[in-house]
Amino acid sequence: MHPRLRALAALRLADPELKVAATRTLVAELGPDAIAGPALRVAGDGDGVPGRPERPLRVSATAVEKRSPFTPEGRAALIHSICHIEFNAINLALDAAWRFDGMPEAYYRDWLRVADEEALHFTLLHAHLRSMGHAYGDFSGHDGLWAMCEKTGDDIVARMALVPRTLEARGLDATPLIQAKLRRVGAPDALAACDILDIILRDEVGHVAIGNRWYRWLCERDGLDPIAHYRVLYRRHEAPRLRAPFNLEARALAGFTAEELLNLQQG
């Protein structure tokens, strides 16, 4: 089966462990044969996308449980929320690799590699959550990431602008703040979570960089100004407002320009 169709098959899987296994096997088995080529999309092929388990219960972002990380239950809820983000991130990367025909070879390989790394992140977090006496689905989760994925399903430029380099880039800002809280807790499970978040932050810099790379490539292809067009897309798709503090160092490593970082700070 073509790798992009295998990505679609993995995307449709509802069971998290099966989705992780299918994604990691797909990437491990990628050979030198071209992934880019003739269009693969056909009418109705988006049925069943994405596959998700019945739990966690999906609620609005404001309705997600907010518990103090200074209690064991609160830390479990926090790890669950990050685990939920990583599960969605697997779907986002698989979708990026499957959905859009006509992109260069490197594009598909980039997003399949991202899917593989997101699957690893989910695995690490879920194992940690289980060590705390919980499992994925025990708490609620919001649907913001996939909602933006749906909004940008017909526009690859908007997808690259608003998913990796907007929503996922927020993780670059949030992760050090979460780690600081967990280090103040000082419990063994909190410190172990910090170690996992170190891995995730390192990899997410690369994922956001991939979003930046392909957004700029597409803007150049289509004769668009990246900064001006980003403002158009941000308003058109009602992306959530970005709030300080910003991890400027990580964002710079992820390919945001000095002008973009200045605009970000100026609101």
pLDDT digit string (tens) for the chain, length 267 residues: 999 999 999 999 999 999 999 999 999 999 999 999 899 999 999 999 999 999 999 887 777 777 789 999 999 999 999 999 999 999 999 999 999 999 999 999 999 999 999 999 999 999 999 999 999 999 999 888 999 999 999 999 999 999 999 999 999 999 999 999 999 999 999 999 999 999 999 999 999 999 999 999 999 999 999 999 999 999 999 999 899 999 999 999 999 999 999 999 987
Cβ(143)–Cβ(211) under 8 Å?
Answer: no
Residue 64's pLDDT is 76
Residue 196's pLDDT is 98
Beta-bridge mates of residue 142 = 59
Residue 267's pLDDT is 72
Spatial distance between the Cα atoms of 248 and 169, rounded to a whole number of angstroms: 11
Residue 174's pLDDT is 96
Residue 63's pLDDT is 72
Spatial distance between the Cα atoms of 207 and 90, rounded to a whole number of angstroms: 12
Q: What values do phi and psi take at 142, rounded to 5?
A: -95, 165
Closest Cα to residue 51, out of 22, 81, 26? 22
Residue 222's pLDDT is 98
Would you list the domain boundaries of the chain?
3-30+50-266
Q: What is the DSSP letter of 139?
A: S
Closest Cα to residue 166, out of 65, 254, 96? 254
pTM of the model: 0.97
Residues 125-155 as b/e (b if ≥16 CB within 10 A, e otherwise) read bbebbeebebebbebbbbbbbbebbebbeeb
The third-level CATH classification (topology) of the domain covering 3-30+50-266 is: Ferritin (1.20.1260)
Residue 10's pLDDT is 98
Report how far apart, in Å, the C-alpha atoms of 116 and of each of 3, 27, 143 are. Answer: 13, 7, 21
